[in-house]
Structure 1
Amino acid sequence: MSDASPGVLNPLLAKMAAGDLTVGMIVRLVRGVEIFAIAKTAGFDCLLLDQEHNSFSLETISQICIASNLAGVTPLVRVVDAGHASITRALECGAMGIIVPQIESAKDAATAIQAAKFPPLGHRSIAPCLPHLNFRPTPATEAMPSINSLTMVVVMIESLAALEAVEEIAAVEGVDMLLVGANDMCNALGLPGEFDHPKLRAAFQHVADACRTNGIHLGVGGLGPRPDLVEEMTSLGARYATAGADVTFFTNAAIAQARKFK
């Protein structure tokens, strides 16, 4: 972000609000700030730092988040759960938002909001000199509404329980996006890997309807190998998609290059 003053916007949120599809890169392998430069060069809108599926330390999260913010590549952190410590510590590292897995009720979503937002929306504790503001000393009365406005709360919908409660989850104040994990949703439906199955399409439609009713964004994950389905989800209103992970990109490129020599 180029302006560190209170009121600075989250570029990912701004682009989605304009009606554009945004694309994220999952980070599971690279632990250096070089990854934000690669993402920026490739044209990704954000980095999804995945604490749920790897061993990233908070120090690693912090360094990548701060560098990404300065470059205008929005850093989001997929935390391990909706616990207060998981969420607040990721945000204190400079994340512009959190992605919360295993949400299955409106109560779960509200718990995440309480940890992620400063009063009056939540009960997050205020600390001086936040990285989002380039560590500039800022009165709490200015810092809290500014950080609240740019902090995304993304709820994952990846189970049958979440699907059944999706209308109530989408209605929780402070939720910005519902992100459907296609692989886990397929598993929950008893259809592992069957991305073309009508039941999966129906699940996406159900979530899209809930998002539209409540004026929040729809996101899709796990469809990196199927850009045709991402296009279809965009027609349902999706404004965010993950294109894949760094480890997958690097491995696939390495395999393809090695095959050229064999």
Structure 2
Amino acid sequence: MLDVTSPDGRTFAERLRAGEPCYSLGIRTARSVDFVRMAASSGYDAIWIDLEHSTIPLDTTAQMTATARDLGLEAWVRVPEGDFGVIGRVLDGGASGLIIPQVETAEDARKAVSYCRYPPEGSRSHNALTSPFGFRRMDGKVRAAAANRSVFLQVLLESAHAIDNIDAIAAVDGVDAIGLGLNDLSANLNIFGDVRAEAITTLCRRAIEVGAKHGKLVIIGGLQGPDHYRELVDLGAAPYVFAAIDTDIFVDVLDQRIARWRAAISA
């Protein structure tokens, strides 16, 4: 398995650690690999496919992640809440990273690590011929070590209870990044949508401090635009940019097109 790297040979995580903004495109509605090709042509660095909030099937997911990796894009998948069994399948299909939602305890994080990595680092089931290795036959130990080294694991914290346990979660070996989902987090605090509330900022600060302590990236989603992004990156959050998601793109363009036609016809 080859890591997804930039032209200068750095991995995605290394670029984020160096403070280089990396732009991602979320996919919930699209079903064609052409959308991945468009993302690559437009200069995106990554895609992430949201299986938690969509009906995208696994075969489509595999085609998209394999295409992304062929094009040099990072290919992450957010699995449905509690569906650890799907992890090995999306990794076999070509995903380079996993986003595990609703992680609330260190035990949850250890379980995620176990499903993402082969023994002795985890308990992922072996499959000799997989897309990430071009379906080549390889020595099993070499393949397992390469796969374990390459997969990027982000655990997503979306509740006050999870933040209470963040130190223990961040200490788990095999967790590469702590993610905060501000929409669910604000809902959990009964201030849904107020993602710039002081209570939310305080939790973000706490996560960033703990991430730095344990050497983990902190990726924050659900931001209110570039200014909010800059504030949190200045505090130490990873410069991972949720630049767009396909549902927003489609609805925005549809709104613009019909508004333009209505204006033209009315005139």
TM-score, with structure 1 as normaliser: 0.93
Which stretch has the larger CA shift, 40-49 or 16-25?
A: 16-25
**Do the aligned partners of 2:4 and 2:73 also contact (CA within 8 Å) in 1?**
no
Which stretch has the larger CA shift, 236-245 or 48-57?
A: 236-245
Show the 5 A alignment for 1:16-55: 16-55=16-55
> 1: distance between equivalents of 2:3 and 2:195?
38
Unaligned runs of 5+ in 2: 6-10
Q: From the superposition, tell whether residues 9 and 140 of structure 1 become closer, same or farther in structure 2 (CA, over 3 Å).
A: farther
TM-superposed CA distance for 1:18, in Å, is 3.0
> 1: distance between equivalents of 2:220 and 2:179?
5
What CA RMSD, in Å, does the superposition of the two structures yield over aligned residues? 1.5
Q: 1:98-147: CA deviations, max 9, x gaps?
A: 10011100000000000001122101122112211222211111111111
Which stretch has the larger CA shift, 235-244 or 61-70?
A: 235-244
Equivalent residues, number: 256
Alignment-derived partner of residue 91 in structure 1? 91
> 2: distance between equivalents of 1:7 and 1:72?
10
Q: From the superposition, tell whether residues 17 and 136 of structure 1 become closer, same or farther in structure 2 (CA, over 3 Å).
A: farther
**Do the aligned partners of 1:82 and 1:112 also contact (CA within 8 Å) in 2?**
no
**Do the aligned partners of 2:105 and 2:162 also contact (CA within 8 Å) in 1?**
yes
> 2: distance between equivalents of 1:126 and 1:14?
28
Q: 1:208-248: CA deviations, max 9, x gaps?
A: 1111100011101122x411111111112222232231010
Alignment-derived partner of residue 198 in structure 2? 198
**Do the aligned partners of 1:22 and 1:45 also contact (CA within 8 Å) in 2?**
yes
Which stretch has the larger CA shift, 188-197 or 45-54?
A: 188-197
State the one-letter code of the partner of 2:31: R
Alignment-derived partner of residue 176 in structure 2? 176
Give the 3-state SS of the residue equivalent to 1:238 in structure 2: coil
State the one-letter code of the partner of 1:8: D
**Do the aligned partners of 2:103 and 2:109 also contact (CA within 8 Å) in 1?**
yes
Alignment-derived partner of residue 3 in structure 1? none
State the one-letter code of the partner of 1:179: G
Which stretch has the larger CA shift, 124-133 or 236-245?
A: 236-245
TM-superposed CA distance for 1:91, in Å, is 1.1
Alignment-derived partner of residue 236 in structure 1? 235
The structure 2 residue matched to 1:8, chosen from 3, 6, 17, is 3
Which stretch has the larger CA shift, 36-45 or 81-90?
A: 81-90
Alignment-derived partner of residue 161 in structure 1? 161
Alignment-derived partner of residue 79 in structure 1? 79
Alignment-derived partner of residue 137 in structure 1? 137
**Do the aligned partners of 1:82 and 1:108 also contact (CA within 8 Å) in 2?**
no
TM-superposed CA distance for 1:191, in Å, is 0.9
Alignment-derived partner of residue 65 in structure 1? 65
**Do the aligned partners of 1:21 and 1:238 also contact (CA within 8 Å) in 2?**
no
> 2: distance between equivalents of 1:68 and 1:165?
34
> 2: distance between equivalents of 1:40 and 1:226?
22
Larger Rg: 2
TM-superposed CA distance for 1:7, in Å, is 5.5
State the one-letter code of the partner of 1:16: L
Which stretch has the larger CA shift, 180-189 or 11-20?
A: 11-20
Q: 1:166-220: CA deviations, max 9, x gaps?
A: 1111110000111111111111111111122111110111111111100011101
Give the 3-state SS of the residue equivalent to 1:260 in structure 2: helix
> 2: distance between equivalents of 1:9 and 1:112?
21
Give the 3-state SS of the residue equivalent to 2:229 in structure 1: helix
TM-superposed CA distance for 1:9, in Å, is 4.6
TM-score, with structure 2 as normaliser: 0.91
Which stretch has the larger CA shift, 36-45 or 177-186?
A: 36-45
**Do the aligned partners of 1:66 and 1:94 also contact (CA within 8 Å) in 2?**
yes
Alignment-derived partner of residue 210 in structure 1? 210
**Do the aligned partners of 2:4 and 2:74 also contact (CA within 8 Å) in 1?**
no
